[in-house]
Amino acid sequence: MEGKIDFVISMIKQKRELSSIDSSFVMDLLNDYIEKNKPLWNSILSHPKIEKCRELKILVKDIRKKLREIHGVFNIDLNKRNKLLAELELSIKSNAPSDEIIELHKKILLTHKSTRERLNYYKSIYNEIFSITGIPKVILDIGSGLNPISTIFTKLKNIRYIAIEFTEEDCSFLNKYFKMMHINGIAVRKDLLKHNIFPKSDVCFLFKVLDSIESIERNSSKNLLDSIDSKFIVISFPKKTLSGKDLSTKRLAWFRKIAKTYYEFEIENEVFYIIKIIKKNA
């Protein structure tokens, strides 16, 4: 059966935008799917030609949809961002003008759907956040994507930046960036659907993360929030679903039950909530 499972995982990851996702994460989703759809899985296992199995096509489509909700849809061009990072490194080594450095940052941010949408708003986003939280010394960015690249638009100095991603490729990219920019930062791979322990921080970013993981596993958001030790948590949601429909208030009902007190602001495609964490023993 192990060989068939490997084949199914390879089928799921055949799409270019999903190819960089760690197989262990896909395996976790697959195990959960099998548990909930045992008759379908048994039909796949018993089929004489698994690659032609109708049930396999259903399984692959369903799991790809889940993966796109939390990762694949946001990556626009992996090759381009790697080439731009190499260009940025050369510019830094040659002491290029600051305008050139900033322009390359913008080009990198354009390779990622979420950061592309925020590009013209980053300064106002950070001004809004830090007017509430104060200037942080430690930032924890969970499901960061390319968001750490955007700190060039802030006046933050001497910060510790901890980025959490769930593919080694994304972590490697961010760690190269931190090193070349001499930022005290690190990117670490974690599966957000599992129990995690995160380092303490002044501000934790959860941009477009909670709705995605909640759609995969109900109540996973509360477990994730409970594991965060930060003075402030900044959570954002897209204003539209992947299908282009407006995100309904009903879909966020679970969040409003968890976060009863918050400061809210929005940009064109995204709404942000700033939550101050009050310790029970404080």
Give residue-wise pLDDT tens across range 134-169.
999 999 999 999 999 999 999 888 999 999 998 888
User: In the numeric block, which tokens belong to residue 98?
Assistant: 């600051």
- Look at 135-149, 168-182, 218-232, 240-254 and tell me which has the smallest mean pLDDT: 240-254
96-135 core/surface letters (b: 16 or more CB in 10 A; e: else):
eeeeeeeebbbebbbbbbbbbbbeebbeebbebbbeebee
Phi, psi values for residue 162, rounded to 5°: -115, 115
Banded model confidence at residue 228, pLDDT cuts 50, 70, 90: very high
Strand partners, 163: 141, 187
Enter the pTM of the model: 0.81
Q: Taking residues 175-192, what's their average pLDDT?
A: 94
User: In the numeric block, which tokens belong to residue 126?
Assistant: 């950070």
* Better pLDDT: 71 or 49: 49
Count of alpha carbons within 13 Å of 266, Cβ hemisphere only? Answer: 8
Q: Taking residues 17-33, what's their average pLDDT?
A: 80
Q: What is residue 275's DSSP assignment?
A: E
CATH class of 116-276: alpha beta
- Look at 51-55, 184-188, 248-252 and tell me which has the smallest mean pLDDT: 248-252
Strand partners, 273: 235, 264
Residue/partner pairs of 239-243 with CB below 8 Å, 24 or more apart: 239/266, 239/268, 239/269, 239/270, 239/271, 240/269, 242/68, 242/69, 242/73
Residue 243 predicted with pLDDT over 60: no
Banded model confidence at residue 75, pLDDT cuts 50, 70, 90: low
Residue 263 predicted with pLDDT over 80: yes
